[in-house]
Amino acid sequence: MKGWPARLATALAPLLLAGCVSVGIGSDAPAHSHLLLHDATAPAQRRAEPLVAALLIQAQPADAAGDTASIAYSPRPNTFADYQFAQWTERPVRRLPRLLQQRLEARGVAGAVAMLGEPVRADWLLSVAIDTLHHDISLPPGQGRVALTAELFDRRSRTRIARRQFEADVPAASADAPAAAAAMSQALTQVFDRLLPWLETELQQAATAAPK
């Protein structure tokens, strides 16, 4: 029994070393990376005039991955883990609405686009819930998956005007965190591409029908 601790340490050494450098899939370098979720769209063609005077945005992390800096991956359905040596520079629940705000401002959807809580008076509120944001590696190298639920509210009557979910999957170039972040950014771009015309249609119809 005297040599048992030494034999155990020898047997566990490869496993401990692997755990030190693992990022969940094993394809990342151990150096810690901070990755940026971004909107990869080209500059939008600006509307001739805004649809409404002001629009507020509220983000809600329906999925836990949206309210953390960790970058999640899924090796099989309903199973998730986080990359060990990589994380978002900013939590998606904060980053995503800012990206959407920039997209809406560039398009000129409203005279002012602000976040809920900022000193801007607006009759219209766009609520965006992050339903899915992860790297699906069930079939490596996997794909970046993003799903959002958007709801448009009339704040004067406190009624919901419209609701719709938008989702996109984009293949990842490799099974690692940087490729996952790039794929999720592309998927987010596609989601915004679909969300914007829906919002413009619903907002125009609601604003036209609203009492003056």
Domain hosting 109: range is: 49-209
27 inside domain:
no
69 inside domain:
yes
35 inside domain:
no
92 inside domain:
yes
pLDDT single digits (tens) 57-104:
999 877 888 899 999 999 999 999 999 999 999 999 999 999 999 999
Q: What is the CATH number of the domain that holds 156?
A: 3.40.50.10610
Report the number of distinct structural domains present in the chain. 1
pLDDT of residue 9: 36
Q: Which of 203, 57, 56 is nearest to 121 (CA)?
A: 56
- Reported as type and span, the H/E element at residue 182 is helix 177-209
**What φ, ψ does residue 81 adopt, rounded to 5°?**
-150, 170
65 inside domain:
yes
18 inside domain:
no
Say which range, 3-7, 143-147, 172-176, has the weakest mean pLDDT: 3-7
191 inside domain:
yes
56 inside domain:
yes
Distance between CA atoms of residues 100 and 108, nearest Å: 12
What is the value of pTM for the model shown? 0.84
